[in-house]
Amino acid sequence: MNFVEFFNRARARLNFDVPAGLTDAAVVPVSGDAGTDRMLQIIAAEQPIRPAAVLIAVVQHEQPTILLTQRAAHLNDHAGQVAFPGGKIDASDASPLDAALREAEEEVGLDRSYVEPIGYLDLYGTAFGFRILPTVARVKPGFTLRVNENEVESAFEVPLAFLMNPANHRLHSKEFRGAERSYYAMPFEERYIWGATAGILRVLYERICLP
């Protein structure tokens, strides 16, 4: 699938309707894995929902890429993991889209003038009590990044073709409170992309690349 076809499909299949489950505790996002879904129900009953937003920034190179970050090693949550630019939605954010753009500016200095938002992907729940709403966006090349070392160790790009190839979607599993849960991993060169980031990329593949 080329860049033009990818975004034509994204525009046709996505929108900016905010799902109720982003803030409604009664709605538990479905992951597609039975063990993970049970885990999410346990977490949802134990702690309040924390709405979050991330930016799936697809950079319009001749061979398009997705912009990712390596989180700083000193952080309390997800230290050293590969992630999308993003974070918690603040009360001052006008929308999840606004939160994703703000976080991308704060974390890696991505100027929103380069960003063309396309629409929201499916709501994604994590084991740490976050409800993540990803925004898919087309990003014009030529931007200059300024990494905020308090939050991010580095920023890098991975070819879209690699991430949207199901042959690179490895399914792993581990136990959580007596239940087996599975998760995706997409190792790329020296980077280990897994957990929520890989799970969201898998949802992107299913929503945009499958017929």
pLDDT tens-place string over residues 160-193: 999 999 999 998 887 766 667 788 999 999 999 9
Confidence (pLDDT) at 71? 84
- The model's confidence at residue 42, banded by pLDDT at 50, 70 and 90, is confident
Q: Which of 193, 183, 106 lies closest to 156, judged by CA? A: 193
Domain boundaries, the chain: 3-209
pLDDT tens-place string over residues 138-157: 999 999 999 998 889 999 99
Report how far residue 211's alpha carbon sits from residue 206's, in angstroms, rounded to the nearest whole number.
9
String of b and e for 99-130 (b: at least 16 CB within 10 Å)?
bbbbbbbbbbbbbbebbebbbbbbbbbbeeeb
| Mean pLDDT, range 119-127, rounded to an integer | 90
pTM of the model: 0.92
- The model's confidence at residue 32, banded by pLDDT at 50, 70 and 90, is low
CATH topology of domain 3-209: Nucleoside Triphosphate Pyrophosphohydrolase (3.90.79)
Confidence (pLDDT) at 193? 96
The DSSP secondary structure of 3-35, one letter per residue, reads HHHHHHHHHHH-B-PPPGGGT-TT-----S-HH
Tokens of 170: 């490895």
**Lowest pLDDT segment from 101-110, 121-130, 171-180:** 171-180
- What's the CA angle centered on 203, arms 178 and 164, to 5 degrees? 120
| Mean pLDDT, range 81-103, rounded to an integer | 96
**Lowest pLDDT segment from 68-82, 101-115, 166-180:** 68-82
Confidence (pLDDT) at 154? 93
Report how far residue 123's alpha carbon sits from residue 136's, in angstroms, rounded to the nearest whole number.
12
CB of 66 within 8 A of CB of 163? yes
